[in-house]
Structure 1
Amino acid sequence: MAVDLERELEIAIALARRAGQEAMRYYGGPLEVAHKGEIEEPVTQADTAANEIVVRGLLENFPDDGILSEETADTARRLGRSRVWMVDPLDGTSGFIARDDDFAVHIGLSIDGAPALGVVYRPAVDVLYWAVCGQGAWRQRAEEEATRLQVSDVSDLREARLAASRTHRSPRLDRVIQALGIKTETRRGSVGVKIGLIVERECDLYIHLSSRSKQWDTCAPEAILREAGGELTDLWGYPLRYNTPDVWNRNGLVASNGRLHKAVIERLQPLLAEFGRTRVA
């Protein structure tokens, strides 16, 4: 069902571009790298500067909405709102620090717990992805005209091309790749960048076994992937829910072109049991 979010999309795109441009002011220069949270995630002055632009802009334009942002202290206020913005001002900070171009600004809008709008902007290469529920997914490169996106029609796992994390590698993922019979793999950073590979038809599948992603990592990319014809669930095939008290995606992620999804979920189940994984309610 199409949703009228024209103003929201216009503002989100403008904020993503501004935040990306601000982050690029620090790219390649001296960085102040700190580590935060229980898994010691890196954060730089570029993250906080980009966050200030996005969060301030959303508050000014949509004061009644909730906001959940990686670089802003969370409060219970958002839990009473049906519309909540999910912001990662610099998804892929490790890539930003390494200067490998694998980072993106994520701005997503969830409505009643589901992704309704997504904007992902890669400032290092000037590529913008966006989608609104019911209105398709789109990409714009530099000065080019916007192009509508559609995932691949690959339906045989033996032909599937996997988008995998550049970091967070584990022997368990190697076991999954072997069991699925996947022969082609592209390693990149940022959830937004990897979902971009799927909607650009360069890859067909992304599997994230870890429980270490959060709602701001996935909301905007999921909106874009779904509007391009793809699917994103947890490892057991259940949909992700947004604006919950616990912001972690504790049950991992499977993103695909849709055609592969059922087969991947079915093949994962005995492997998850082998790994001792059970779904967190």
Structure 2
Amino acid sequence: MPETDLPLLIETAKEAGALALTYWKKAPEAWDKGDGAGPVSEADLAVNALLEERLRGARPDYGWLSEESTDDPARLEARSTFIVDPIDGTRAFLAHDGGFAHALAVVRDGAVVAGVVHLPVHDLTYSASIDGPACLNGEPLRPGAQEVLSGATVLTSKLSDNPSFWRHGQPDYQRHFRSSLAWRLCLVAEGRFDATISLRPAWEWDIAAASLIAQRAGLLATDRNGRALRFNRSPPQSSGLVVANPVLHEKFIENLAFWPD
């Protein structure tokens, strides 16, 4: 990985944030993608174009995977690949909620080696490289130390209330929600919440950058069966997500029903 990959991601994420803010609260054109994929707006596409121009212009030999680009199978042959979500939390963006993020990652040989999650409204930039600390605006992150499911603060969706997902009944944790899945991981890395789980398939562009940030903060980030996350796959999804400190993570994995691939 070039030494400049992380600075490149940070610089480009902030540029993306400045562009997104020119559309925020300005009633950008938006439409539904269909098939349960949720909304997209002209702002998503403009940010995507900017990211591709800046990142691929700087690293033309890298592959490209973005939520808002047609998937090019050539990425599967690239040793290094950009995986990006131009606006993670488009619903929040369109609702004038500042909890949307730009998530940018570099993946090499299936593992994330640099990641940035930037929230322009809140002026928050989470970042990490494979050989460095996880940081928020340049300061190291420190996650929480909760070790039991009961009373844990967990970022998830109402889907986790389904008893069929749990071996021994749903734990009595406190459920919270944020529209941006990438930000959820970062909030756990920051210690503001104890865990985040996703009990549906997770798209790589939602979790790639933030999974490295979580791991470099000292958390475990796996699929819902406890298996290591791998990226730049086809299709680009993981079997859910569990992110927590090692002790709490084990408690989740012990209680979650196995999800066959």
Partner of 1:33: 30
State the 1:164 CA deviation: 2.0
Pairing of 1:82-93 with structure 2 (within 5 A): 82-93=79-90
Q: Secondary structure at the match of 2:169?
A: helix
The one of 104, 107, 121 aligned to 2:104: 107
Partner of 1:279: 260
TM-score (norm 2): 0.93
Gaps of 5+ in 1: 141-145, 273-277
Pairing of 1:37-186 with structure 2 (within 5 A): 38-140=35-137, 146-165=138-157, 169=159, 171-172=161-162, 179-186=169-176
Tell whether 2:2 aligns with 1:8. Answer: no
State the 1:181 CA deviation: 3.1
Cα distance in 2 for residues equivalent to 1:171 and 1:109: 34
Cα distance in 1 for residues equivalent to 2:95 and 2:117: 20
Partner of 2:236: 247
- Given that 2:165 and 2:256 are in contact with CA atoms closer than 8 Å, whether structure 1 keeps it comes out as no
Tell whether 2:188 aligns with 1:198. Answer: yes
Cα distance in 2 for residues equivalent to 1:149 and 1:133: 15
Tell whether 2:9 aligns with 1:20. Answer: no
Q: Secondary structure at the match of 1:179?
A: coil
- Given that 1:84 and 1:111 are in contact with CA atoms closer than 8 Å, whether structure 2 keeps it comes out as yes
Change (3 A) 1:139 1:83: same
State the 1:173 CA deviation: 7.0
Q: How many residues align?
A: 261
Cα distance in 2 for residues equivalent to 1:175 and 1:85: 33
- Given that 1:106 and 1:121 are in contact with CA atoms closer than 8 Å, whether structure 2 keeps it comes out as yes
- Given that 1:162 and 1:182 are in contact with CA atoms closer than 8 Å, whether structure 2 keeps it comes out as no
Gaps of 5+ in 2: none
- Spell out, residue by residue over 1:156-197, the C-alpha distance to the aligned partner (whole angstroms, 9 max, x if none): 2224211124xx646417975x93533423221111221122
- Given that 1:150 and 1:200 are in contact with CA atoms closer than 8 Å, whether structure 2 keeps it comes out as yes
Partner of 2:223: 234
- Given that 1:152 and 1:257 are in contact with CA atoms closer than 8 Å, whether structure 2 keeps it comes out as yes
| Aligned amino acid, residue 58 of structure 1 | L
Cα distance in 2 for residues equivalent to 1:221 and 1:85: 14
TM-score (norm 1): 0.87
| Aligned amino acid, residue 185 of structure 1 | R
| Aligned amino acid, residue 112 of structure 2 | P
- Given that 1:198 and 1:257 are in contact with CA atoms closer than 8 Å, whether structure 2 keeps it comes out as no
- When structure 1 is superposed on structure 2, of 218-227 and 32-41 the one drifting more is 32-41
% of aligned pairs identical? 32
- Spell out, residue by residue over 1:25-56, the C-alpha distance to the aligned partner (whole angstroms, 9 max, x if none): 11111121112253242100110111111111
- Given that 1:180 and 1:264 are in contact with CA atoms closer than 8 Å, whether structure 2 keeps it comes out as no
